[in-house]
Amino acid sequence: MTGGRLSSFKLGGASGNAQGQYRARLEDSPAMSVDAESAAAAPPSNPPAVSMEVGVRPAPVEVSVPAYEAAGSGDLQIEVSDPHRAGEGMSKHVEYKVTYWSTLSGYTNVSGCVTRRYSDFEWLWKQLRATTDGIIVPSLPQKTLVANDDPTSAAIEARRRHLAVFVARIAAHPIMRESKDLQIFLEEQDKASWSERVPWYERGITSDAVRGVSDWFNHTVRLDDSGTAANLVSAAAQGISGVAAAAGGAASAAAAAAGGAASPAKSPPAAAAATTEQPAATASQSGPTGDVLLGSGAPASQGAPGDGITEDQHFLDVAEYVGKLKGRLDKLSSATSALVKHAQLTGSVLMEFARVVVDLDETEAKAKAVFETRTNGVEWTNAAKLFASASGPPNAQAAAVTAAFGEPLDGAVALTQACVSACDARKAIVDHYNRLCKQIERLDQKAAAMGVPEPGPRREEKQKLELAASDTRIARTQAMGRYDKCRQHMEHELVWFHEELARTMGAALKDLVVAQGASAGQAAHACAGHFEELRAMLRSAPAAFV
């Protein structure tokens, strides 16, 4: 509650002139001055159209990104500005002007601008998560349960700032800025194409409901790895481009599922182990901290393991630490929110107390006039000014805590969540690889149990099994390549994450201490003059209390 609201109190029982006199007296206090901005005119219902000119290139948003030795040349800057209302009726929403300047190869123009809505940014975020294994993709601002289509609101402005930081990190990142999906996001002018990329059920609150059902299905419904649905869902989750190949392999495996009983385990063909020499050779260069490959115990240079991968314990410890850190930061965020609410409530209570004291002053003034007494009464107005002045510093403290610590803390929470997601994606790749190994083993067992059948349906069935095993080996090779790339990227990303988090939180704590000290000084200064008046009043106690 701001101090300016006290000037509009209804002073009980007093005449219009008396109310005006006491308003004038209370407005002498800075904490009770009228806030002219609160009476500002409402925004126009039909805002002017946004100019699609590129304009002058502003100073870029300052962000930090991981350092990569083989970073490509070129520059890319993206700005998000001018939130505006688009659409009518139920399709009404807020769009943002996205402007870019690029010297990267592949772009049609060196600069340009488009309009994008929140769900388009979300599409870009999903695409980057699916195609950049091991990269900490920055988080998007959270959705609101209640739709907000007022482009002049504080919530929309806060979202615009977060989106600006989101695209600035992507543009500065050596890997993500080379993404073809980012180029589509910046250059695609056809509005109809976005209806295909982002269908209606992935926009707004509806997308949250669909995602909830999808998450429940993936975590609750357990399908056999050889099932068609399991392969398609896994392919979509892992970002595998050959979904059609995966579906074909799944169909072949499903047709062979009715085959004979499995015979004792048999080693897969040696050719399968030779398909991933390059990823395994890279893995052998990771040194003593590299991942341990389970299975036959053969050196990594001989190929990908045939019976699965186990993660390096060091990475598992880091992933566990990051997950626990996310929980601690969530608790710190809740405590900070409680501190801000406490300060705001304190200011509100002090202002309410001042309002009650003003009413007592009005009542006593009326009683003195009725009883025609000339005795000195209680100085209610001075007390009201004191408490009204004391309500200002808690509100200022709440704003200072929010700006100095709350906002950086929210950024740290989002960064940690992005790191948790990157670690989970790496674990998912390992799980996917291990499932493929088990699936290959089952298919080989079924094919071996059939022996050498005579020409006819049984031979065709065995050929289908062998074809499904071959398709699955190709998918396993792709998974091994993704895992190797993910591991290389995360070596850089985790170092940057640790440094960025320490820098952000260290600066936030320093600013918080400074803000708290300034708030305490403002509180002492605001109340000093009023305390002197009350001390003078208490030297001569009132003769009467009506």
pLDDT in tens, 465-481: 999 999 999 999 999 99
Answer yes or no: do 201 and 288 share one domain. no
CB atoms within 10 A of CB 233: 16
Mean pLDDT of 287-293: 36
Last residue of a domain, one of 175, 207, 239: 207
Quick one: pLDDT at residue 393?
Answer: 77
- Structural domain includes residue 374: yes
Q: What angle do CA 465, 274, 300 make, to 5 degrees?
A: 125
For residue 398, what are the contacts with CB-CB under 8 A and spacing of at least 6? 340, 341, 343, 344, 347
Q: Residue 418: exposed, middle, or buried by beta-carbon count in 10 A (0-12, 13-18, 19+)?
A: buried
Write out the two tokens for 443: 């298919």
Per-residue pLDDT tens over the stretch 74-104? 889 999 999 998 888 777 889 999 999 999 9
Answer yes or no: do 169 and 245 share one domain. no
- Structural domain includes residue 355: yes
Write out the two tokens for 492: 């850089």
Mean pLDDT of 116-126: 92
Rounded-to-integer distance, Cα 12 and Cα 34, Å: 20
pLDDT confidence band for 528 (50 / 70 / 90): low
DSSP string covering 433-455? HHHHHHHHHHHHHHHHHT-SPPT
Residues 380, 360: contact at Cβ < 8 Å?
yes
Of residues 204 and 299, which shows the higher confidence score?
Answer: 204
Write out the two tokens for 401: 């805590």
Q: What angle do CA 352, 356, 360 make, to 5 degrees?
A: 165
Answer yes or no: do 183 and 263 share one domain. no
For residue 96, what are the contacts with CB-CB under 8 A and spacing of at least 6? 80, 81, 82, 83, 84, 115, 116, 117, 160, 163
Answer yes or no: do 179 and 304 share one domain. no
Sign, Cα dihedral of 403, 404, 409, 412: positive
Answer yes or no: do 408 and 530 share one domain. yes
Answer yes or no: do 491 and 520 share one domain. yes
Rounded-to-integer distance, Cα 114 and Cα 169, Å: 19
What is the chain's alpha carbon radius of gyration, rounded to the nearest angstrom? Answer: 33
Answer yes or no: do 143 and 236 share one domain. no
- Structural domain includes residue 191: yes
Write out the two tokens for 429: 């790749």
Rounded-to-integer distance, Cα 207 and Cα 140, Å: 15
Q: With b meaning 16 or more CB within 10 Å and e meaning fewer, what string describes 169-192?
A: bbbbbbbbbbbebbbebbeeeeee
- Show the domain range for 160: 76-207
Rounded-to-integer distance, Cα 322 and Cα 486, Å: 17
Write out the two tokens for 365: 């003034």
- Structural domain includes residue 12: no
Answer yes or no: do 251 and 185 share one domain. no
Residue 181 has pLDDT above 60, yes or no: yes
Residues 132, 108: contact at Cβ < 8 Å?
no
Residue 213 has pLDDT above 70, yes or no: no
CA 527, chain centre distance (Å): 41
CA 139, chain centre distance (Å): 3
Write out the two tokens for 364: 């006593």
For residue 504, what are the contacts with CB-CB under 8 A and spacing of at least 6? 408, 411, 412, 415
Per-residue pLDDT tens over the stretch 387-437? 777 777 787 878 888 888 888 888 899 999 999 999 999 999 999 999 999
Domains held by the chain: number: 2
Answer yes or no: do 246 and 190 share one domain. no
- Structural domain includes residue 213: no
- Structural domain includes residue 3: no
Coil, strand or helix: which one is 221? coil
- Structural domain includes residue 37: no
User: What stretch of H or E contains 90?
Assistant: none
For residue 438, what are the contacts with CB-CB under 8 A and spacing of at least 6? 225, 308
Coil, strand or helix: which one is 156? helix
Sign, Cα dihedral of 173, 178, 181, 185: positive
Rounded-to-integer distance, Cα 29 and Cα 3, Å: 9
Residue 41 has pLDDT above 60, yes or no: no
Residue 542 has pLDDT above 70, yes or no: no
Quick one: pLDDT at residue 536?
Answer: 64
Mean pLDDT of 114-133: 92
Quick one: pLDDT at residue 245?
Answer: 45
The mean-pLDDT minimum among 130-134, 203-207, 416-420, 523-527 falls in 203-207
Across the chain, what does the average pLDDT equal? 73
- Structural domain includes residue 113: yes
Rounded-to-integer distance, Cα 356 and Cα 364, Å: 13
Of residues 281 and 249, which shows the higher confidence score?
Answer: 249
DSSP 8-state symbol, 527: H
Question: Across 109-118, 196-205, 336-345, which has the greatest mean pLDDT?
Answer: 109-118
Residues 301, 281: contact at Cβ < 8 Å?
yes
DSSP 8-state symbol, 169: H
Residue positions counted in the chain? 546
Residues 66, 173: contact at Cβ < 8 Å?
yes
Answer yes or no: do 315 and 247 share one domain. yes
Quick one: pLDDT at residue 230?
Answer: 47
| DSSP alpha helix (H) spans, 8-153 | 16-26, 118-131
Last residue of a domain, one of 173, 207, 241: 207
Quick one: pLDDT at residue 49?
Answer: 67
Answer yes or no: do 187 and 99 share one domain. yes
Q: Residue 441: exposed, middle, or buried by beta-carbon count in 10 A (0-12, 13-18, 19+)?
A: buried
Mean pLDDT of 433-445: 93
For residue 367, what are the contacts with CB-CB under 8 A and spacing of at least 6? 546
Query: Residue 175 — φ and ψ, nearest 5°?
Result: -95, -50
Rounded-to-integer distance, Cα 50 and Cα 96, Å: 9
Per-residue pLDDT tens over the stretch 224-264? 444 444 444 444 444 444 434 444 444 444 444 434 333 33
Rounded-to-integer distance, Cα 122 and Cα 93, Å: 15
Answer yes or no: do 196 and 335 share one domain. no
pLDDT confidence band for 68 (50 / 70 / 90): confident
Query: Residue 94 — φ and ψ, nearest 5°?
Result: -110, 135
Sign, Cα dihedral of 396, 399, 403, 404: positive
Last residue of a domain, one of 138, 172, 207: 207
Q: How far is CA 300 from CA 280, 288, 478, in A?
A: 5, 13, 17
Rounded-to-integer distance, Cα 446 and Cα 434, Å: 19
